């Protein structure tokens, strides 16, 4: 590209990257589902690393994922990228995880039962 002549025709044809991706705007339900899926992934990573991370992280992420998936359901989302696919199943799974984690933290003091 020359400063005097402007852009050379066809100069952008070989450029590939995020600036060239065309993404349609997301609807409000899609935005909530995307955010909920992010928390679903974070919770899954927290579960995998539960041995070395504080259990409070898993509890907080589970509660946020439940709230976000509930909001996305009220906006009409019936499918998710999460491995369970249905937001109602995802909410149930995270609710069970949150209940188990809360019980473990509050009643067992964060220790394994002996």
Least confident range of 75-79, 85-89, 106-110: 106-110
CB 43 within 8 A of CB 97: yes
Which pTM was predicted?
0.58
Q: What is the reported pLDDT for 17?
A: 54
What CA–CA distances, in Å, run from 15 to 19, 24, 41? 9, 20, 31
């Amino acid at each position: 590209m020359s400063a005097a002549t402007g852009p050379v025709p066809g100069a952008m044809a070989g450029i590939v990257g995020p600036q060239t991706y065309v993404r349609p705007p997301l609807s409000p339900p899609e935005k909530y589902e995307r955010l909920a899926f992010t928390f679903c992934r974070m919770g899954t990573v927290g579960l995998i690393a539960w041995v070395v991370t504080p259990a409070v992280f898993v509890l907080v992420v589970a509660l946020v994922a439940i709230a976000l998936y509930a909001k996305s359901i009220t906006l009409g989302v019936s499918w998710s990228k999460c491995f369970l696919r249905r937001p109602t199943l995802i909410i149930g799974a995270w609710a069970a995880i949150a209940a188990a984690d809360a019980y473990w933290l509050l009643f067992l003091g964060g220790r394994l039962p002996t």
